[in-house]
């Protein structure tokens, strides 16, 4: 067992409160007063979750957006956040981070409530944590990852792979036309979770989560949490024009999009009979849905491309 | 203005929600679902807030205890926490941290609800964040730092300086008899905030906070938040037997105790007429209170020792 897997197993043994959802969901759900509070905490570390050369405005944006993405996946409206900030003496960097923080907090209507500012010793990678609190709509069950049923269809709410390709471009591993380059890089640096869409879908779905580590690894997690298997049709993954003009829509391209991570769209399972309701709910939010597979008996992932079974790649996504 | 002061000023301009208490309190107070939630987030960084050689069990304990101390200062009962954990490959270190985390969470009845596990690049200082949520008693106002009135007495709930001396011993800057050494070091490594005492005092006090950075700097903050001045009588600071047998109770010793920080007891202001109620409330929790000064018109700190005014030291406490 890897160090992280062993650590998380040990941590789960500690997190026995039902509110913790066995640390197997995007967020905790705490009943308090007459309501429920959705709680999530994501950290980002320089050199791991963002590049040293990323503009600090976008680092702040990403920190807020990744947490808001977890709230959206639970159908929760943001109510507040707390920030732990590793302060360096780079005044301009700090000021730029704050500009990005302000923009993200205003965009997602998530007030900054508090936090902590700490010094880091010289030479340490910058490290920031954010906790976001959200409130689900009254009477609506907060969807977990584990509610999918046999026969459910699997859907995603946005194009996949753009952020991964953007990161590849920044690392010099991929190329794109200059018009596409900016779009793809911004998909990596400034993900745009859609809270309203999550809130609209929450009452309809059987299971929901956000796609943060790659749709294959995340679909596998959703299926595993539901005690079932997932079939993903790689040729049905939504790819953007910018993505396709750089990488095409071959099997290799689809596998890259399915495993790259950082998409921050929603992945959910719902029965085929409510397909029209789902599409209508998304349309009201000016969004499109993309059916990419289904839930079946069994366990693990089955990948299809052009109707053929494809062996799963060694790496299903980003493990951290 | 220092980098940190400038940063926090800019952060305050962003935190306009009343729940944020202008980032000038120990915690945020969010009204939600017919109740109020007290929210605090403290981070600890290796080499800044703990020593590399500190046992990992005690690092975890301190992380939980410093957050619980903030809840206690707001009279809030712990309801849950979320952890951001910087995972290294030091499996035994990780396992020991988890043992300390379990002990602290059980001791303070604070369930672990979620969080995040992140990798840090090699060479980075270990860095951990915790968010704690607490709920105040129904109908009791959550005490702020800013409610003190002219004529209030200033009280602390525990001995001061032990933790600072313990740190000094670990750093080789101070010495103590071996019987005292362990006690003083444990006051540094495993602070023991008292939630029940905070809950008992909250309905009675005008203002309350925890002493984390040194009683002088913290009394100055309480007075400033109240728009008033504080008089601290250094010869009335409670010093433990272990502390006095090492450092005595001279002016130098009292100044060290007043500025060392890491005490994690409570500091509060209350009118003299309720003195008996305060002492009775503490006695019910098997605790003693120590009156160390009073609140007056004006601004800043006035220090007395043996009835004489003492010029304030250049360093009033730990600024971070």
Q: What pLDDT does residue B30 have?
A: 96
Given a cut of 80, whether residue B34 has pLDDT beyond it is yes
8 Å CB contact of B48 and A89: no
**All structural domains of chain A:** 3-136 (3.30.1330.10), 153-310 (3.90.650.10)
Condensed to tens digits (0 to 9), the pLDDT of residues A184-198 reads 999 999 999 999 999
8 Å CB contact of A7 and B117: yes
- Pairing mode, strands B229-233 and B300-305: parallel
Q: Mutate which of A35, A63, A115, A133 to test chain B, going by most B C-beta atoms within 10 A? A: A115
Confidence of residue A1 (pLDDT cuts 50, 70, 90): low
8 Å CB contact of A133 and B39: yes
Given a cut of 90, whether residue B319 has pLDDT beyond it is no
Structure tokens at A305: 């491309």
- The listed range with the strongest mean pLDDT (A8-12, A121-125, B130-134) is B130-134
Using the CB atoms, write b or e for A263-275: b if 16+ within 10 Å. Answer: bbbbbbbbbeeee
Condensed to tens digits (0 to 9), the pLDDT of residues B246-286 reads 999 999 999 999 999 999 999 999 999 999 999 999 999 99
B226/chain A closest Cα distance in angstroms: 20
A233-237, B16-20, B316-320: least confidently modelled range:
B316-320
Please give the interface size between A and B, counted as residue pairs whose CB atoms are below 8 Å apart: 239
| B36 annotated ligand binder | no
Residue B155: which of B57, B9, B279, B23 has the closest Cα? B279
Condensed to tens digits (0 to 9), the pLDDT of residues A216-232 reads 999 999 999 999 999 99
- Among chain A residues, CA nearest to B138: A33
Choose the closest CB to A30 out of B45, B79, B98.
B79
Classify burial at A122, counting beta carbons within 10 Å of its beta carbon; exposed 0-12, middle 13-18, buried 19 or more: exposed
- Among chain B residues, CA nearest to A320: B118
How far is residue A223's CA from residue A302's CA, in Å, rounded to a whole number?
A: 11
- Among chain B residues, CA nearest to A80: B30
Condensed to tens digits (0 to 9), the pLDDT of residues B144-190 reads 999 999 999 999 999 999 999 999 999 999 998 988 999 999 999 99
Q: What pLDDT does residue B121 have?
A: 81
Q: How far is CA A139 from CA A25, A73, A100, in A?
A: 20, 17, 34
Q: How far is CA B73 from CA B32, B139, B157, B237, B265, in A?
A: 20, 17, 11, 19, 9
| B194 annotated ligand binder | no
The mean of the pLDDT values for chain A is 95
| A115 annotated ligand binder | yes
- Pairing mode, strands A28-32 and A35-45: antiparallel
CB contacts of A10 in chain B (<8 Å) are: 94-95, 98
How far is residue B257's CA from residue B319's CA, in Å, rounded to a whole number?
A: 16
A294/chain B closest Cα distance in angstroms: 29
CB atoms near residue B88 (< 10 Å): 16
- Among chain B residues, CA nearest to A14: B102
CB atoms near residue A70 (< 10 Å): 26
How far is residue B85's CA from residue B88's CA, in Å, rounded to a whole number?
A: 9
Q: What pLDDT does residue A185 have?
A: 97
Stretch A249-258: mean pLDDT:
96
8 Å CB contact of A32 and B135: yes
CB contacts of A47 in chain B (<8 Å) are: 121
Stretch A245-252: mean pLDDT:
96
In DSSP terms, which residues pair with A304 in a beta bridge?
A233, A309
How far is residue A268's CA from residue A148's CA, in Å, rounded to a whole number?
A: 8
A284 and A219 Cβ atoms separated by less than 8 Å: no
One DSSP character per residue, A32-81 reads ETTEEEEEEEEEEEBTTTB-TTS-HHHHHHHHHHHHHHHHHHTTEEEEEE
Residue A257: which of A267, A265, A247 has the closest Cα? A247
How far is residue A5's CA from residue A289's CA, in Å, rounded to a whole number?
A: 33
Given a cut of 70, whether residue A320 has pLDDT beyond it is no
As a whole number of angstroms, the longest Cα–Cα distance in chain A is 58
8 Å CB contact of A33 and B28: no
The backbone torsions φ and ψ at residue A299, rounded to the nearest 5 degrees and listed phi first, read -145, 160
DSSP B46: B
8 Å CB contact of B115 and A41: yes
8 Å CB contact of B39 and A114: yes
Distance in angstroms between the alpha carbons of the first and the last residue of chain A: 14
A167/chain B closest Cα distance in angstroms: 18
CB contacts of B125 in chain A (<8 Å) are: 120-121, 124
Q: What pLDDT does residue B81 have?
A: 98
Choose the closest CB to A79 out of B32, B42, B127.
B32
B104 and B132 Cβ atoms separated by less than 8 Å: no
Residue A189: which of A313, A65, A26 has the closest Cα? A65
| B42 annotated ligand binder | yes
| B213 annotated ligand binder | yes
8 Å CB contact of A121 and B125: yes
How far is residue B295's CA from residue B219's CA, in Å, rounded to a whole number?
A: 10
8 Å CB contact of A49 and B118: yes
CB contacts of A118 in chain B (<8 Å) are: 43-45, 48-49, 127, 320
Confidence of residue B320 (pLDDT cuts 50, 70, 90): low
H helices present in chain B, as ranges? 3-14, 56-73, 91-107, 162-170, 178-189, 195-201, 215-225, 241-247, 251-259, 275-284
8 Å CB contact of A320 and B101: no
3-state secondary structure of B232: strand
Q: Mutate which of A129, A132, A209, A210 to test chain B, going by most B C-beta atoms within 10 A? A: A129
A98 and B11 Cβ atoms separated by less than 8 Å: yes
A266 and A72 Cβ atoms separated by less than 8 Å: yes
A233 and A293 Cβ atoms separated by less than 8 Å: yes
Residue B261: which of B218, B230, B301 has the closest Cα? B218
Measured N-to-C along each axis, helices A162-170 and A251-259 cross at an angle, to the nearest 10 degrees, of 90
Stretch A28-39: mean pLDDT:
93
Angle at the Cα of A189 from the Cα atoms of A220 and A111, rounded to 5 degrees: 90
A1-5, A282-286, B18-22: least confidently modelled range:
A1-5
Choose the closest CB to B98 out of A11, A79, A95.
A11
What was the ipTM of the complex prediction?
A: 0.93
Condensed to tens digits (0 to 9), the pLDDT of residues B206-239 reads 999 999 999 999 999 999 999 999 999 999 999 9
| A245 annotated ligand binder | no
Place of tokens 């984390």: B212
Choose the closest CB to A32 out of B42, B79, B131.
B79
B44 and B85 Cβ atoms separated by less than 8 Å: no
Q: What pLDDT does residue B1 have?
A: 66
8 Å CB contact of A14 and B113: no
8 Å CB contact of B19 and A89: no
Given a cut of 90, whether residue A89 has pLDDT beyond it is no
C-alpha count within 13 angstroms, C-beta hemisphere, residue A179 = 3
Structure tokens at A118: 């700490």
- Among chain A residues, CA nearest to B66: A116
**A152 or B90: which leads in pLDDT:** A152
DSSP B310: E
8 Å CB contact of B85 and A7: yes
8 Å CB contact of A87 and B4: yes
pLDDT exceeding 70 applies to what percent of chain B? 99
- Among chain A residues, CA nearest to B137: A33
Choose the closest CB to A17 out of B43, B95, B113.
B113
Residue B18: which of B32, B28, B9 has the closest Cα? B28
pLDDT exceeding 70 applies to what percent of chain A? 99
How far is residue B240's CA from residue A311's CA, in Å, rounded to a whole number?
A: 68
Measured N-to-C along each axis, helices B56-73 and B178-189 cross at an angle, to the nearest 10 degrees, of 60
B308/chain A closest Cα distance in angstroms: 37
How far is residue A88's CA from residue A90's CA, in Å, rounded to a whole number?
A: 5
Structure tokens at B62: 């301190």
């Amino acid at each position: 067992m890897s160090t992280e897997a062993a650590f998380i197993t040990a941590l789960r043994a500690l997190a026995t409160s039902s509110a913790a959802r066995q640390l197997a969901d995007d967020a905790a759900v705490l009943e308090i007063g007459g309501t429920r509070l959705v709680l999530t905490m994501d950290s980002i570390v320089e050199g791991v979750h963002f590049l040293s050369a990323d503009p600090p405005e976008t680092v702040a944006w990403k920190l807020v957006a990744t947490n808001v993405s977890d709230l959206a996946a639970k159908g929760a409206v943001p109510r507040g956040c707390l920030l732990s900030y590793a302060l360096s003496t780079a005044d301009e960097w700090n000021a730029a981070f704050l500009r990005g923080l302000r923009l993200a907090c205003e965009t997602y209507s998530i007030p900054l409530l508090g936090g902590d500012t700490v010094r880091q010793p010289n030479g340490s990678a910058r490290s920031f944590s954010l906790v976001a609190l959200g409130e689900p709509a009254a009477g609506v069950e907060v969807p977990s990852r584990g509610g999918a049923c046999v026969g459910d269809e699997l859907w995603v709410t946005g194009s996949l792979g753009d952020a991964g390709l953007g990161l590849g471009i920044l690392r010099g591993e991929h190329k794109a036309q200059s018009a596409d380059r900016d779009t793809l890089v911004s998909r990596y640096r400034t993900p745009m979770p859609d809270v309203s869409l999550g809130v609209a879908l929450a009452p309809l779905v059987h299971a929901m989560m956000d796609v943060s580590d790659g749709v294959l690894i995340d679909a596998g997690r959703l299926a595993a949490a539901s005690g079932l298997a997932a079939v993903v049709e790689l040729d049905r993954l939504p790819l953007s024009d910018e993505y396709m003009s750089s990488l095409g829509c071959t099997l290799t391209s689809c596998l890259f999009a399915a495993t790259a991570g950082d998409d921050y769209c929603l992945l959910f399972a719902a029965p085929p009979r409510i397909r029209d309701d789902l599409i209508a709910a998304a349309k009201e939010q000016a969004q499109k849905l993309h059916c990419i597979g289904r839930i079946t008996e069994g366990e693990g992932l089955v990948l299809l491309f052009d109707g053929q079974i494809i062996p799963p790649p060694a790496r299903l996504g980003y493990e951290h």
